[in-house]
A and B are shown apart, each in its own frame.
Chain A
Amino acid sequence: MKDINEDIAWAKINKDVLRSLESPRKLYWVIVFCALAAFSIAVGCEVYQYNIGMGVSNLNNPHVWGLYIATFIFWIGMSHSGTLLSAILHLMHADWRKPIYRFAEAMTTFSLMTAGLFVMVHLGRLWQFYYSLPYPNDRGLWPNFQSPLLWDAMAIFTYLSSSILFLFVGMIPDLAICRDNIHSGWRKKLYTVLALGWEGTDRQWRNFRVTYLTIACFLIPLAVSVHSIVASDFAMSQQPGWHVTSFPPYFVAGALYSGCAAIITLFIILRYVFKFEEYMTLPILKKTVRLTFAIAMVWTYLNAVEFASVWYSHDVASKEVLIQKATGPYALAWWGMIFCGSIVPLILAFKRFQTNIPVLLVTSLLLNLGMWLERWMIVAPTFSHGYYPWTWDHDQWPSWVQWGMVFGSFGWFTLLFMVFCKVFPSVSMYEVKEMVYHRSLASKKLEVSGAQESVEGAH
């Protein structure tokens, strides 16, 4: 398989990536239009729900949470992709992340923004959401710091602002390249402002590296804690099926899982659309795929841990909920989750499929479907079959309002992503240059020392 050409001219890298910022072709507008249409469905649903009341979602007593919370967790989960690639792999010096981490980080930011929408949409009185913020008021009221939902609010807010910062800081050298290579119009002004006067001096590079590293180090525990906090929305409650100590790592694993799967999807799409084959090479894809497989196995293990703990705990209520998940009204979705989450990724173990684009595209979508189902299966069955038999409700299904908003959220995400792709370089130019430089150095060293092999397998 062809990896990045070590001899590639830096000017070519610039040219290839900057080309992606040119005036969009028809396909772009088609996608934007579709995304906008999907998003407007969500807006319509929300306007309807806002005016009439949450009841139009078919939520009821005891099913007070539904797809809004499930999809919220799903989007938060997706956001872990960027952090994983940008920050964790950065600390591990895995240079193969360099061409792909930019769009992954963008994905993080936009996922978080989409997740934030769901928090709002889920609230019964969303126009008063600010009660959850410690704003100055005459009554001396603070939000309730004992509540996991409030920790959510704080964690996500922190995570979002940190991610935006990380994305922005990481883009500065690239923005400078854009500023220097695009000479006219509003873009020139935009890049000039955002590049913060980057000249590429030694000092600036040194400061940059330190800043980048610091944020990366800060961001990793933040990402872990964010999803652990989201997990504690459930783990800290008393309800059967939720009160499980393995939830925080389970959620984080699931988040990394769906993030990786999303990276694969976007990788394949971007590579095709912007003709980034040179940079988003198949070896990189293969590594991503293997990483995904590893995480899939971790997730499967943690899933099994949950089942095992229910079994040996002898907690009757939890056992009943688990049995209901497998045999009750949600059985189809639950088994779908098991299939998509644990069986489908086995494909990724086979070398033959690890670079097969069509298979990977479908697989990555299925994996994410599995992860979305997982979130739903955490939320819903506990409500349908909780501690109190009188309130068991096996017949509650989300209405078109909920489905509309879930569907529309993908439109919103896509919209944001489309705008990003055309305004900011979705491949990190300076990092690719670094990568190529280091690799050529390494192979030259080998040449010098007498070794002949290509550097391909060394990473």
Chain B
Amino acid sequence: MIDNNFDRRDFLKVLGWGGAAVALSGCGNTSVEDGKETVVSYVEVAEYVAPGISVYFNSTCAQCDAGCSISGRVREGRVLKLEGNPDSVINRGKMCGLGQAGVQHHYNPDRVREPLLRSGDKGEAITWDKAYTLIAEKLNGVSGDQIDFLTGSISGHTKALLGNYLESLSSKNHFVYEAVSPAVQRAANMKSYGMEMPRFSINKAKVVLSFGADFLGAWVSPVHFSQQYAEFRKGVDGKRGVLVQVESKMTLTGANADRWLAVRPGTEGILAMGIINALGVAGLSMPSNVQEAAKPYDKERVSKDTGVTTESIVKLAAILKERTPSLVLLGSAAEGYAHGSQNAAAINLLNQVLGNVGKTLEASAAVPFPQIAPTMGNTAALRMVNNRLADGQTKVLFTYATNPVFTSPAELKFKENMAKANFRVAFAHYLDETALQADLVLPLDSALEDWGTLVAEYQPEGVQISVQQPLMEKLHPETRGMGDILLALIKQRQPDAYKSFDDYYAYLRTAMLKNKSEFANSGMDDDVFWNGVLSSGIINVGGNLNKLNSKPDSSIKLPAPAEQDAKYPFTLIPSVTANLRDGRHANQPWLQESPDPLTTIVWDSWVEIHPKKAAELGIVEGDIIAVESKNGAINAQAYLFPGIHPDAVSIPLGRGHEAMGRYAKGYGVNPFQILDRVFDEETGELAMHETKVKLSKVGKRVIVVKDEGFAGGAQHGKKIAMTKSSDQVDLSEEV
């Protein structure tokens, strides 16, 4: 706990450097005398350091945008491990594996350490002054509408500063892009409920029916939902919650379901309507227009279209009717298809029919400060930027927290179009594919070295502003925080603006103090308040609830299931795994070595095929398969996976890097490249599951590198991982 006057930066500076020096010299098999000049005596120790005793500082995890608050264990000036911050309403002291790997993002040996002037394959290290001068030079004479900023999802004061910088450039071209984003869901939620991201209470539901929402894995806020899930399983009124997952390829959440329903790709909406129909048949009362709309979806037709048995539909309707409240979640059913928005509407309608709105689906709070409220990315932004680049409308391109050269479908030709800009600047931690295409790469402080605020999109309780503070002095002297860089750039354009702020820290502190009254007692001492903020790592504001405006939409038009293309008979489902996501963490070795929970494969990509289909095609595990779409082919090892629809194959996203360091480069293949350009009709979002592919054996076979052994997932009669049916277990006596 920090609650006195002191200069944290100085102490960290002294200690971090000393600590790091000691550590470095200790590890290099060098003599005891080496580096003695930088050793800090432990006799004259700095404040708040007892050698051998850890101090915990709170900050925010930046590995995904859930905004979990973390507590970093710091010893002798270096951060060792991250734990969850118990006070955060988002993660309540827990973390996920991705978050744990945050230290590997920070200590990564392949971080960019200096500003690089790039030409072709070569990069020349230059000073920051030179870099800033170059930027000023290149911006000279360029009008605002020719300057584009492509970033990932962004929130907090960095977003505010970025807005200010764009203003100073007279540019309105801030494009927020996320390769994997629930953009269709947001639009659908807006239409159905009146807000993009309502609050879900899985722990209050008796039945959760998820249409591809991998809430235990990579959907929205997995650490938060996992905790809700644990409560859900303990049950409301002692009755254990039931999870039903509907999807074409099993996700982590699907593996935890009581019933996993394999559905023909794209027909999730039809199933939802079928369930509404069955609910009507079972006697659930619903508005007549809804009943009318559901009439054509009788169980025989739905079963034929989706592949789900009529028995399952009836059972599902029965349990949903009986056990209320329930909760219907929307996931890949929305993001996957050209009719994704229609799927989403049908699925949201199911929630409304079941009366869950207001019970397990409630209004979220609005962020009181719009400049720091999150702007979430989507894939339509990429298309816009790409078109502008292709047309030559963009002269200067800035990229931050995004890697479009890796994540864009090859068909978009983003790399070639990016080359058309005159000047490209990448704010980056690593030399990833996009940074390699930039003219100027500016190295960033890692998330554990930087100041900032982050406001997560998903807010479970009020609004929580997560605060980010450095957990140690920066490792590489020539990296800079994004906030500091933006300040410097703004000052370039408007020397008087922000004159009073030496650095981003000062700006942040002042900005927070300005709104002190919103967060705390306005009479509180400034320093006490600020130090309190830093030590807790979070600020909770009440926030006014958005208005929940539930509008059941019965005018749903779902297309019939698509005919199988003779040339490209399989649907490619690029899967999003919790640890790899869109590939930005592929250079963190713990994540590469952490087995995929469902296949246990490590360090490589694979193509999942249903065993029956594989038998038909004569494919065995390890066969290298060429997966070819209209736009290209990638080769991956086959893995026989029972949790996938036989008409689909799945390749994980996130591997297949050609750059980004020693742990990412050369491992696996990148399915982003071969995606077909199919877009959701309503939102224009890239439809992720609409790529059709054909498979052919390349003729090579490899041994699949995975954790499971010869027995695969079988126990051979041994009582190792046991399961019990719910009617044979008594959970009431449990602790």
Contacts and interface: CB of A to CB of B under 8 A. Distances in A.
Contact of B710 (A316, A387, A393): A393
A395 B706 CA distance: 13
B700 interface: no
Interface string B704-727: 000011110011111010000000
A140 interface: no
Interface in A395-431: 395
Contacts of B717: 316
A385 B710 CA distance: 9
A392 B716 CA distance: 12
Contacts of B714: 389
B735 interface: no
B711 A389 contact: yes
B703 interface: yes
B597 to A, nearest CB: 14
B176 to A, nearest CB: 44
B711 A390 contact: yes
Contact of B720 (A388, A394, A395): A388
A390 B718 contact: no
A394 B710 contact: yes
A389 B708 CA distance: 9
A258 to B, nearest CB: 31
A393 B718 contact: no
Contacts of B708: 390
A111 B718 CA distance: 42
B572 to A, nearest CB: 30
Chief secondary structure at chain B's binding surface: loop
Contact of A393 (B709, B715, B716, B720): B709
Contacts of A387: 718
A389 B714 CA distance: 7
Contacts of B711: 389-390, 392
A204 interface: no
A237 interface: no
Q: Which of B703, B716, B717 has the most CB of A within 10 A?
A: B716
Contacts of A391: 709
Contacts of B709: 389-394
Interface in B677-735: 703, 708-711, 714-718, 720
Interface string A308-347: 0000000010001000000000000000000000000000
Given A394-B710, A395-B710, A389 B720 contact: yes
Contacts of B703: 395
Nearest to B600: A390
Residue in A316, A385, A390 whose Cβ sees the most chain B Cβ within 10 Å: A390
A356 to B, nearest CB: 45
A393 B710 CA distance: 5
A182 to B, nearest CB: 56
A394 B703 CA distance: 12
- Name which of A387, A392, A394 has the most chain B CB atoms within 10 A of its CB: A392
A207 to B, nearest CB: 61
A387 B716 CA distance: 10
A450 to B, nearest CB: 75
B622 to A, nearest CB: 11
Contacts of B715: 389
Nearest to A390: B709
A395 B703 CA distance: 9
A390 B713 CA distance: 7
A324 to B, nearest CB: 10
Contacts of A384: 710
Nearest to A385: B710
A214 B703 CA distance: 59
Contacts of B710: 384-385, 392-395
A391 B703 CA distance: 16
A314 to B, nearest CB: 13
Nearest to B709: A392
Interface in A356-404: 384-385, 387-395
Contacts of A390: 708-709, 711, 720
A390 B720 CA distance: 10
A391 B715 CA distance: 11
A387 B714 CA distance: 13
Contacts of A316: 717
Nearest to B711: A389
A345 B315 CA distance: 68
A325 to B, nearest CB: 15
A393 B712 CA distance: 10
Interface string B465-505: 00000000000000000000000000000000000000000
A111 B711 CA distance: 39
Contacts of A388: 718, 720
A241 to B, nearest CB: 15
Nearest to A62: B709
Nearest to B721: A390
Contacts of A385: 710
A382 to B, nearest CB: 14
A395 B704 CA distance: 11
Q: Which of B709, B711, B714, B720 has the most CB of A within 10 A?
A: B709
B22 to A, nearest CB: 28
B706 to A, nearest CB: 11
Contacts of B718: 387-389
B708 to A, nearest CB: 7
A389 B715 CA distance: 6
A391 B718 CA distance: 13
A319 to B, nearest CB: 12
Nearest to B707: A390
Nearest to B717: A316
Contacts of A394: 709-710
A388 B715 CA distance: 8
B678 to A, nearest CB: 40
B156 to A, nearest CB: 44
Interface string A111-152: 000000000000000000000000000000000000000000
A344 to B, nearest CB: 32
Nearest to A316: B717
A388 B708 CA distance: 11
A320 B720 CA distance: 17
A385 B711 CA distance: 9
Interface in A278-328: 316, 320
A388 B719 CA distance: 10
Nearest to B708: A390
A316 B715 CA distance: 13
A394 B712 CA distance: 12
Nearest to B703: A395
Nearest to B712: A389
A394 B708 CA distance: 12
A297 to B, nearest CB: 36
A320 B715 CA distance: 13
Contacts of A392: 709-711
A246 B715 CA distance: 29
B707 to A, nearest CB: 8
A391 B708 CA distance: 7
B600 to A, nearest CB: 9
Nearest to A395: B703
Nearest to A324: B710
A392 B711 CA distance: 6
Contacts of B716: 320, 389
A390 B716 CA distance: 10
A388 B718 CA distance: 8
28 contacts: A316-B717, A320-B716, A384-B710, A385-B710, A387-B718, A388-B718, A388-B720, A389-B709, A389-B711, A389-B714, A389-B715, A389-B716, A389-B718, A389-B720, A390-B708, A390-B709, A390-B711, A390-B720, A391-B709, A392-B709, A392-B710, A392-B711, A393-B709, A393-B710, A394-B709, A394-B710, A395-B703, A395-B710
Interface of B: 703, 708-711, 714-718, 720
Given A389-B709, A389-B718, 7 more contacts: A384-B710, A385-B710, A389-B720, A390-B711, A390-B720, A392-B710, A394-B710
The 3 closest A-B pairs by CB, nearest first: A389-B711, A392-B710, A394-B710
